[in-house]
Amino acid sequence: MGFASKSPWVIHYDASSCNGCDIEVLAALCPGYDVERFGIINTGNPKHADIFLVTGSVNEQNKPVLQEIYSQMLEPKVVVACGCCACTGGVFHDCYNVLGGVDKAIPVDVYAPGCAVRPEAIIDAVVEGLGVLEQKSEALKEQQKRGA
């Protein structure tokens, strides 16, 4: 296993969540679940983060914000959609202003369903994301080798 998956720093963005999923994301960071055991830190800075946790559905207002945060993150990076709204739009999917899940704005690697998403599901999704992070890290290394 490489180093990419040993120190996954996350950034959390609330697209239009009801805060149910946000509370569960924070719960995962608190003593009860303590994800720092796996080196996971909440950075709050896209330039330092490896994993992008998004809660809530996407609309025209927050689509450019999501894309901006995503584009500021450095490769290798992974996006995890946390909760039903982030996965598909959830109960808001047919609202006139809702575009749908996070994948309508940026590429999503792992979907973590639930309303609200359970902290265990978030941890499982992030661990799943580590495999993707590792693959992307290998791909980046190959790319850099070819470029050099």
65 to 124, contacts with other proteins by CB under 8 A? Answer: 74-76
Residue 83: left if φ>0, alpha if ψ -120 to 50, beta else—which one? Answer: left
> Rounded to 5 degrees, what angle do the CA atoms 82, 86, 90 make?
115
Radius of gyration of the chain (CA): 15
By CB under 8 A, tell whether 2 contacts other proteins. yes
Minimum distance from residue 132 beta carbon to other proteins (Å): 15
Minimum distance from residue 37 beta carbon to other proteins (Å): 5
Kindly tell me which of 71 and 96 has the beta carbon lying closer to other proteins. Answer: 71
By CB under 8 A, tell whether 147 contacts other proteins. no
By CB under 8 A, tell whether 42 contacts other proteins. yes
By CB under 8 A, tell whether 45 contacts other proteins. yes
Kindly tell me which of 6 and 95 has the beta carbon lying closer to other proteins. Answer: 6
Minimum distance from residue 131 beta carbon to other proteins (Å): 15
Residue type, 128: E
Kindly tell me which of 113 and 131 has the beta carbon lying closer to other proteins. Answer: 131
By CB under 8 A, tell whether 135 contacts other proteins. no
Catalog residues that contact other proteins under the rule CB under 8 A. 2-4, 6-7, 9, 31, 34, 36-39, 41-45, 47-48, 50, 74-76, 137, 140-141
